[in-house]
Amino acid sequence: MFHINDDSVRSHLLKGNFGLEKESLRVTAEGSFALTMHPFPDNKNIVYDFCENQTEINTDIAASAEEAERHLLFYTSQIQKKLAEMDEPEYLWPFSNPPYIQNERDIPIACDAKKVGYSKSYREYLADRYGRYKMSLSGIHVNFSFSDALLQADYAMSETDDFKEYKNKVYLDLAAGLVIYGWIVTALTAASPLLDGSYFERDKKGITVFNGLASTRCSELGYWNYFVPVFDYSNIHTYAASIRQYVDAGLIVSPTELYYPVRIKSYGKNDLDRLEAKGVSHIELRTVDLNPYELSGIHLNDLKFMQLLFVWIASNPEKNLSLRDQVQAVQNFKNAAHYDLKTVKIVVPSGQSRSVVKTGLDIIEKLKQFYCDFPDDVKEILAFEEEKLLIPEKRYAWMIREQFGDDFAGKGLELARNLQEKILRNV
């Protein structure tokens, strides 16, 4: 854990790097899925994920949350400008949940392997295994690394003489801590409570469905494997071995298929041999919904809160997770994706069971104590997140249900048009 009482460490605690991945669907002026080819074939920062009409922004590494959000907005602006200039104008769908779907042909599998590790045959395998409809769910992945200055300062205080080993342990402990606490990010950023009825039944097009969830993609209806993975966080080799066992058993075909909220990664291809050889470079949190109220798709305070959470977790004693803890953690993430956070429970490693709201407020209080002598802007970020737990109407999912609950597809398209117009006025 970080030696937070050392001035050289403490002065660098809030320095870190971000890389964001944002998926968004392209839609036509009528609100259906755009069936044109990916319009950015030569842009390394704008690729696609599963389907041809799902753009994915991969930002360059940024030295702050503010810079990362600016990068995201810049590439979003590039996409919007290109879509507005097409012969038949298109729009970026602003929600994580898709608009109406006519049939699976609306979700064409992407044609090439521009995204590392995603060949067409692999995408076809995913379509057969999980269904194309689920692959239309979109969101944001937050990649984060602590600054070299922080790691070097803390390494000087550590008991190891191998920096790579030290760094691996920092991120392994962070990943283990996020297994326990990461669900709070789901609860605070959930923004996909509505679906068009066509997602469930073809003849229900145009009927808005609310099924008690605040985030479909993070809930039991979203991205999960057909088993509960359990990892060994002792060292990077045992961690990699615990993933290989699922590949060897045929439960997944590659580490890329491991749909887990937290990933430990090395730069480049998601490859376990590379991870062991090169060591950990960053951590990836995969549970953030698109925020339709932000031009970039994410609120800056939410991004900053994640950094505060990461630092706090890394500054606490290492986490020894039992099998029960890890199995329960998956359910905690799913519970945090529900709409009414007072009616679902979080079970912490001690065995105590409390509502998402009460457990979340406990975490916020611990963060407030940890950052008590930090600048006021840190306190304002924590107050921003605390308010969501105290006042349900402040949560994105509650606002979306209130505003779009009577016509998700129609009003969603209107918002998509307005966002494009607004962003183009500032280009």
pLDDT over 60 at 84, yes or no:
yes
Mean pLDDT within 71-97: 97
Rounded Cα–Cα distance for residues 27 and 31 (Å):
6
Poorest-confidence range of 63-72, 179-188, 311-320, 336-345?
311-320
Mean pLDDT within 279-300: 97
pTM listed for this prediction: 0.96
- Evaluate whether residue 295 is within a structural domain: yes
Residue 279 pLDDT: 96
Residue 51 pLDDT: 86
Q: What percentage of residues in the chain have a pLDDT greater than 70?
A: 98
Residue 117 pLDDT: 55
Rounded Cα–Cα distance for residues 33 and 410 (Å):
14
Q: In the predicted model, what is the mean pLDDT of the chain? A: 94
Among 96, 139, 141, which Cα is nearest to 283's?
141
Residue 138 pLDDT: 96
pLDDT over 90 at 427, yes or no:
no
Confidence of residue 110 (pLDDT cuts 50, 70, 90): confident
Within 13 Å and on the Cβ side, how many CA atoms surround 293? 17
- Evaluate whether residue 278 is within a structural domain: yes
Q: What percentage of residues in the chain have a pLDDT greater than 90?
A: 86
Is residue 31 left, alpha or beta, with left meaning phi > 0 and alpha meaning psi from -120 to 50? left
The pLDDT tens digits of the residues spanning 360-404 come to 999 999 999 999 999 999 999 999 999 999 999 999 999 999 999
Residue 122 pLDDT: 87
pLDDT over 70 at 116, yes or no:
no
Q: How many domains does the chain have?
A: 1
pLDDT over 80 at 171, yes or no:
yes
- Evaluate whether residue 211 is within a structural domain: yes
Amino acid in the structure at residue 262: V
- Evaluate whether residue 274 is within a structural domain: yes
For residue 88, count other CB atoms closer than 10 A to its CB.
10
**Cα dist from 396 to 252, 286, 415, whole Å:** 34, 18, 15
Q: Domain residues for 130?
A: 7-425
The pLDDT tens digits of the residues spanning 264-285 come to 999 877 789 999 999 999 999 9
- Return the HEC string of the chain: CCCCCCHHHHCCCCCEEEEEEEEEEEECCCCCECCCCCCCCCCCCEEECCECCEEEEECCCECCHHHHHHHHHHHHHHHHHHHHCCCCCCEECCCCCCCCCCCHHHCCECCCCCCCCCCHHHHHHHHHHHCHHHHCCCCEEEEEEECHHHHHHHHCCCCCCCHHHHHHHHHHHHHHHHHHHCHHHHHHHCCECEEEHHHCCHHHCCCEEECCECECCCCCCCCCCCCCCCCCCCCHHHHHHHHHHHHHCCCCCCHHHCCCCEEEECCCCCCHHHHHHHCCCEEEEEEECCCCCCCCCCCHHHHHHHHHHHHHHHCCCCCCCCHHHHHHHHHHHHHHCECCCCCCEEECCCCCEEEHHHHHHHHHHHHHHHCCCCCHHHHHHHHHHHHHHHCHHHCHHHHHHHHHCCCHHHHHHHHHHHHHHHHHHCC
- Evaluate whether residue 2 is within a structural domain: no
Beta bridge partners of 16: 146
The pLDDT tens digits of the residues spanning 145-166 come to 999 999 999 999 998 899 999 9
Confidence of residue 182 (pLDDT cuts 50, 70, 90): very high
**Cα dist from 126 to 215, 259, 270, 276, 327, whole Å:** 21, 12, 17, 26, 24
CB 64 within 8 A of CB 298: no
- Evaluate whether residue 1 is within a structural domain: no
Mean pLDDT within 81-85: 96
CB 283 within 8 A of CB 178: yes
Q: Which CATH number goes with the domain that contains 157? A: 3.30.590.20
pLDDT over 90 at 353, yes or no:
yes
Q: What is the longest distance spanned by two Cα atoms in the chain?
A: 64
